[in-house]
Amino acid sequence: MTPILVPQLGNEILEAEVTEWLVAEGAEVAAGDELVTITTTKMAIDIEAPVSGRLIRIAIPEGELAKVGATLGEIG
């Protein structure tokens, strides 16, 4: 399994809100596909799939906060 992580977004940003999952759990994805939108107080970012496979788990649902480095979901 490959985790989908909240990236480092700058020294001052410690967390982001999961705004929208663009792919449903169980869907096939290709490396580089946009999976989820996260929002900070300064920006909105689309997180891409690091590898091809199936989105097997969404760990943090829409509307929840995620710390930098947290696992948003997993591709298997």
Unique residue bearing structure tokens 């490959």: 2
Residue type, 69: G
Mean pLDDT over 40-63 rounds to 96
Overall average pLDDT of the 40-65 stretch: 96
Q: Is residue 27 classed as helix, strand or coil in its secondary structure?
A: coil
**Which domains can be identified in the chain, with CATH numbers?**
2-75 (2.40.50.100)
Give the per-residue pLDDT at 37.
98
pTM of the complete model:
0.92
On the question of pLDDT at 76 being above 90, the answer is yes
Residue-wise pLDDT for 9-51, tens only, equals 888 889 999 999 999 999 999 999 999 999 998 889 999 999 9
